[in-house]
Structure 1
Amino acid sequence: MITLQHTEECLSLAFVHALAGRAGVSLASQRVHDYGIDGTFRSVKIIGKRRVETGYAVDFQMKATTTWEHKGPNVVYDLEVKNYNDMVQRDSEATPCILILLCLPTDQHQWIVADEDRLVLQRCCYWMQLEGDPSSNSYTQRIFIPRKNALTPQAIVSIMANEQKRRVGI
């Protein structure tokens, strides 16, 4: 049996795959080496009778956790400092990178419901592009993700449209 952490990773990847498919974007999620990027969304357009990737991309780092909480309009999570610093120190001209956080129930038996009528992954993914100065904390950096940043197919479409606008200077 795989570890609980690996199960969390599998669920977060399944969640993001489903959302990306519904959003109509290409998703690359298997890297040969782990350097802090878990996947990339890529926009797709139709040229003639073919679909091709546009060249507009957004990278993401994925986390899944049961140690999160709602505080008013935010999701509060303690992200490892190394991950936080990797994300805030990216070159501003580089492909943007968002954090995707799958907030799972504390009871692992509630994470997923599957029967012949439905497949339900419990709770929600939230997203945020981290900005700011590197943290000097020893282990974690507390982050506040607006709950309005629920990762949905429409949110992915919007994220990709914003990246295209950023790149072409609109």
Structure 2
Amino acid sequence: MIESHIKEGLSKAYAIAVAHKAGMNFARPDFDYGFDGIFRDIQNVNGRYCDNGWSIDIQLKSTINVLYEKDCIKYDLEAKNYNDLVATEVGAPRMLVLFVLPKDQDQWLNITEDGTILKNCAWWYSLKGMEPTKNANTVRVSIPKEQLLTEVSLRQIMNKVKTGEDI
């Protein structure tokens, strides 16, 4: 399998694991129209769990190429993806999920009897309302390090969506 597909699969595994730990579904669109997945909220109504219609569309990226600075991670996002993410006239909120892997491929996944370790982690970032770019190739985005995607942060993000707040 080519390296980019391995990275993509590991990033999806991370997003799925975070969603499920947060008590949500992770859906994958049948066709690629700019988004790789959807976090879908689940509610418990009288002991029956069902989808409540709240969702977040995600553009999932996986890379070993980021710049770590004191308070942020800098990543060169493809211009087409950037422009998809800045749109404001959309039904569901959109966010970038950037999964960062170690440079050494042997460290990406380690499975033993004692546990499974998937390195490293992902950060989330909403670009809603930023100016579209005319760049042909990439746009450098700066993601605050505090925006680590965990089951707790995903639940907090979804709660904002449900109350009409921007993420």
Shorter-normalised TM range:
over 0.9
Indicate whether 1:10 and 2:9 are aligned.
yes
Deviation at 1:137, TM superposition (A): 1.6
Deviation at 1:138, TM superposition (A): 2.2
Structure 2 counterpart of 1:123: 120
Structure 1 counterpart of 2:146: 148
Structure 1 counterpart of 2:68: 70
**Alignment size in residue pairs:** 165
Counterpart mapping for 1:28-43 below 5 A: 28-29=27-28, 31-43=29-41
Structure 1 counterpart of 2:51: 53
**Alpha-carbon distance in 2 for matches of 1:90, 1:28:** 22
**Alpha-carbon distance in 1 for matches of 2:64, 2:108:** 10
Q: Which amino acid aligns with 2:143?
A: I
Q: Which amino acid aligns with 1:27?
A: F
Indicate whether 1:85 and 2:83 are aligned.
yes
Structure 1 counterpart of 2:111: 114
> Per-residue displacement from partner, 1:115-163 (whole Å, max 9, x unpaired)?
1111111111000011311112221100000000000000110011000
Deviation at 1:90, TM superposition (A): 4.2
Taking structure 2 as the reference length, the TM-score comes to 0.94
Larger helix fraction of residues: 1
Runs of 4+ in structure 1 displaced over 6 angstroms? none
SS in 2 for 1:20: helix
Indicate whether 1:103 and 2:100 are aligned.
yes
Taking structure 1 as the reference length, the TM-score comes to 0.93
Q: Which amino acid aligns with 1:94?
A: G
Gaps of 5+ in 1: none
Gaps of 5+ in 2: none
